[in-house]
Structure 1
Amino acid sequence: MRIDVLGVVRALRDDGCPIDLGGPRHREVLARLVAAEGRTVTTDTLVDDLWSDPPARAVGALRTFVAALRRALEPERPPRDPPRVLVTEGPGYALRLARDEVDAHRFQDVLARARRGPEAVADLGAVLAAWRGPAYADVPDAAWARRERARLEELRLEGVELHARILLDSGQGADLVAALDAHVAEHPWREPAWELLARALYRAGRQADALAALRRARAMLVGDLGLDPGAGLRRLETDILNGTVPAAGSSLMWAGAGVRLGPRTTVDLARTLALAGGDALVHSRRDRLAALRAAERTGDLLLTARIIGAYDVPALWSRADDAEQSRAVVAAAERTLTGLGPDGPADLRARLLSTVAVESRSADLSGSELKRARQAALRAEALARKLADPALLAFALNGLFLQSFTRPGLGAERDRIGAEILDLATRHGLPDFAVLGRLARLQSASALGDLDAAASHARAADRLAATTEAPLVPVLTQWFRARATAARSAEPGGPAAATAAAHYRAAEDALQAAGMPGLHHGLFPLALLGLRLLHDRPAPTDPRLDWGPYRPWARPLVLLGRQRDEEARTALAALPDPPHDHMQEAMWCLTIRAAVRLGERAVAARARAALSDARTEHAGAASGMLTLGPVARYLAEAKACAA
């Protein structure tokens, strides 16, 4: 007996006669057990996979399907003998067949042998020819079936290309032109296929056609997908022009070395632009999203995963510049993760999870979304540590850093993460992440009130920026120096408050052109408010000030500055909890100050409870860009208000 799933699901006896498996649900149960490759599938899992909304008697129905399948697969088994093919095992069922008796398993085993050496080329050709259509073609579009279809289709495409590569490397394959031309027409985003077509044309003595194929590949990749040709295609074009294409038997490109996609995509360019800041940063995010969407349209999960994960631009801020775009990226990453499934390549899953963690930093995320993002960060970190990939771990830690704003008072945890990023980047030559590590440590030292340590990190970040061409860094360190000037202005013998305000103004002018609207919006008025609070002065009341996202928390104090106490009381009562970002401690402190001024004890007590773990930190200083002074000062005010 054998079972085939590379096409519609069917079972055949040794003589080739088909076995009547029953209805669609019977075939679906059998298919799900085939996909498990001999592992037990629990009853609960089978019920969930068969029904999106399981009926009350789903388990009973499942048992009926299993019993019918057993009769079909082992018709001569005596009633009292235990089944040998579809067996009960623990809490579920498993299929017990030799791998050679299931076409999908046989195909995968032959492909694995062909990867190790060309001796299996004939067997590879045979198992490829045995495909009768999409895997599990008649199984409903359940999540498990989608994953298996996508996984097996990717393996089939790899097999087609590996088969052609082995034949070309062995001196054969000039007759592959027609098949490869049809292959690239159906899968135009696969660079290895274009490379193979061009080599086959060249082998057939058609040098001009080989170059034309490479030009078609370039036009399609750039025009339709936003991808630049990879090194392999560029090198082959040069070799064809120079007549130096390796002879048969001498190529080192077989056995899967060229199977992986390695294009220098627009995402790589977008990554470079993002680090440049300004308009380039804005354009880079737009181009990154366009490349992502183009990749999704191809239906190639691995390509999509690589393009999403390639944009590992170090991110320092817990508030996204473009929340809508970030949500689109997160949704695409989560779709791709689902498609890859738990058995997908670990490095790609880690990059996708890190992307979810990095991009899930909008101020308006729900509680469940925040929890999911934090879990993604932890899973990415665990995978990256297991893979021992320093660059991947640095990216995963970046996501963990951005998810460390779940509550006030986590400055010390962020400093630990920043220190590890810096250590990884220093030891393994990752200059962009070295900048991130320095800035993260600057922020945490600023939050903890250690201005000397923060200044040291600022100087080191500036030195790195000079060698890595990161013009955003001096903008950020200029803000830190303004923040330090503001803190010293409240000390005896320190600079005047007007001097600190002038430093903030100069920093604001530099930030306007930095391409970081999510950071820039409302920052300067908040910095001025913090400076006034340090000097026990009322909030600025200039109506031209744009408070941006900080308006709800600043408004009660602005109204108090205008002596509109009842309006201030109404605004205070309507305040939501602050978002989980760099400014959450500052927003709670603004809440305390307004509540104390208005005698609202309950509000002051609630804010005091939320801030209790941040008593050793400085409000707003987790940004590294401004300060409202020590949190302890505001906690003392709230405590006195409650007395």
Structure 2
Amino acid sequence: MTVKDAPSVWGETMEFRLLGPVTIADENRSISPGGRRQQAVVAALLMHRNTFVPVPRLIDYVWGDEAPPSAVNSLQSYVSRFRKLLEPGPPDGSVRLVRSVPGGYSLHAPDEQIDGVRFARLVSEGRSLLQAGRAMEAYRCLTRALRLWRGPAMAGLADHEPLAAEIARLEELRTSATEYQATAALALGRNEEAVALLKGVIRECPLREGPRAGLMLALYRSGRQAEALALFRTTREMLIDELGVEPGHELARLQQSILRQDPALARPALTV
């Protein structure tokens, strides 16, 4: 559904989504705010919710170094369309979600209505639960967090340079959440699930040693000692070829523990 097709009334469960295509949704529908530049305006206002965003900064988010002479007028049009989507009809005296202030704009929305904010809070909570040794609660919390994702962060804007830093931050947090979930799965004896989770992380971030150590341990606990040791060898070769360094202390120590079948490896250990 597009902006022009939008219904006239939003439900109380309206949500702004950045963990996938930029959309506005409630329990009944999901709406795209418009084209790439329109989405960039929405994303920028969400990133700086409840604060004043100057016009020049918004222009930078939308056009970067390629702003046309008409940028200010175009920005006004984008904000106007966004406001009409959220607040259709003539003003009724209520507080507007999108406010015009001298020299800029602001979007007023509670954190609970923004999926990226809820995701970050759940990840933080999940990590704290892991550190407290509450593996099952952590696993459930992190599962809820990861289920908020519907595709790459701000899908369709991945090559939009002004938003690159925020997209990278969200994707990095997603990777960390998956690592924490794998740690919780290991602590719960769900070794094969941890293997699958960590293989996915390694495909995305092949040079990170932490997920490789976790995968070695998960493979060992799954009765796949030979695979765990083979992973160490391929990891060592990759690190030397790509970075010119040997594996770090954690990986080297883990390899030696696996070689001697250290009984301590069978005991869940939460490290985050």
TM-score computed with the length of structure 1 as normaliser: 0.37
- Aligned-pair distance for 1:89? 4.7
Q: What is the distance in 1 between the residues matched to 2:107 and 2:225?
A: 52
Q: Which has the larger radius of gyration?
A: 1
Structure 1 residues 81 and 59, CA gap change in structure 2 (3 angstroms): farther
Match of 1:154 among 172, 180, 196: 172
Corresponding position of 1:220: 238
Q: How does 1:103-122 map to 2 (within 5 A)?
A: 103-118=115-130, 119-122=137-140
Q: What is the distance in 1 between the residues matched to 2:210 and 2:54?
A: 40
Structure 1 contact 195–233 (Cα < 8 Å) conserved: yes
Match of 2:105 among 93, 97, 101: 93
Structure 1 residues 38 and 235, CA gap change in structure 2 (3 angstroms): farther
- Aligned partner of residue 31 in structure 2, secondary structure: coil
Corresponding position of 1:61: 74
Q: What is the distance in 2 between the residues matched to 1:6 and 1:60?
A: 29
Structure 1 residues 140 and 58, CA gap change in structure 2 (3 angstroms): farther
Q: What is the distance in 2 between the residues matched to 1:20 and 1:185?
A: 30
Runs (5+) with no aligned partner, structure 1: 257-643
Q: What is the distance in 1 between the residues matched to 2:78 and 2:95?
A: 14
Aligned AA (2:247): P
Structure 1 residues 121 and 13, CA gap change in structure 2 (3 angstroms): same
Match of 2:149 among 106, 131, 134: 131
Q: What is the distance in 2 between the residues matched to 1:70 and 1:90?
A: 17
- Aligned-pair distance for 1:104? 1.2
Cα RMSD (Å) of the superposition?
2.2
Q: What is the distance in 2 between the residues matched to 1:124 and 1:252?
A: 15
Structure 1 contact 7–133 (Cα < 8 Å) conserved: yes
- Aligned partner of residue 227 in structure 1, secondary structure: coil
Q: How does 1:185-584 map to 2 (within 5 A)?
A: 185-244=203-262, 245-249=264-268, 251-253=269-271, 256=272
In the TM superposition, structure 1's runs of 4+ consecutive aligned residues that sit over 6 Å from their partners are none
- Aligned-pair distance for 1:45? 0.7
Match of 2:47 among 30, 35, 39: 35
Structure 1 contact 201–207 (Cα < 8 Å) conserved: yes
Corresponding position of 1:165: 183
Corresponding position of 1:537: none
Cα deviations by residue, 1:298-327 (Å, 9 ceiling, x for unpaired): xxxxxxxxxxxxxxxxxxxxxxxxxxxxxx
Structure 1 residues 140 and 87, CA gap change in structure 2 (3 angstroms): farther
Structure 1 contact 168–248 (Cα < 8 Å) conserved: no
Aligned AA (2:182): A
* Greater relative CO (CA pairs within 8 A, separation 6+): 2
Q: Which has the higher helix share?
A: 1
Aligned AA (2:138): A
Corresponding position of 1:8: 21
Q: What is the distance in 2 between the residues matched to 1:238 and 1:94?
A: 56
Structure 2 contact 62–162 (Cα < 8 Å) conserved: no
Q: What is the distance in 2 between the residues matched to 1:175 and 1:151?
A: 25
- Aligned-pair distance for 1:31? 0.9
- Aligned-pair distance for 1:206? 1.3
Structure 1 contact 47–59 (Cα < 8 Å) conserved: yes
1:141 equivalent to 2:159? Answer yes
Q: How many residues align?
A: 251
Structure 1 contact 37–105 (Cα < 8 Å) conserved: no
Corresponding position of 2:10: none
- Aligned partner of residue 100 in structure 2, secondary structure: strand
Cα deviations by residue, 1:317-344 (Å, 9 ceiling, x for unpaired): xxxxxxxxxxxxxxxxxxxxxxxxxxxx
- Aligned-pair distance for 1:30? 0.2
Runs (5+) with no aligned partner, structure 2: 1-13, 131-136
Cα deviations by residue, 1:258-317 (Å, 9 ceiling, x for unpaired): xxxxxxxxxxxxxxxxxxxxxxxxxxxxxxxxxxxxxxxxxxxxxxxxxxxxxxxxxxxx
Q: What is the distance in 1 between the residues matched to 2:226 and 2:189?
A: 20
Q: What is the distance in 2 between the residues matched to 1:19 and 1:137?
A: 14
Cα deviations by residue, 1:92-123 (Å, 9 ceiling, x for unpaired): 22222222221211111111111211333212
- Aligned partner of residue 153 in structure 1, secondary structure: helix
- Aligned-pair distance for 1:22? 2.9
Q: What is the distance in 1 between the residues matched to 2:270 and 2:197?
A: 23
Cα deviations by residue, 1:510-536 (Å, 9 ceiling, x for unpaired): xxxxxxxxxxxxxxxxxxxxxxxxxxx
Structure 1 contact 20–72 (Cα < 8 Å) conserved: no
Identical residues among aligned pairs (%)? 36
Structure 1 contact 110–124 (Cα < 8 Å) conserved: yes
Corresponding position of 2:8: none
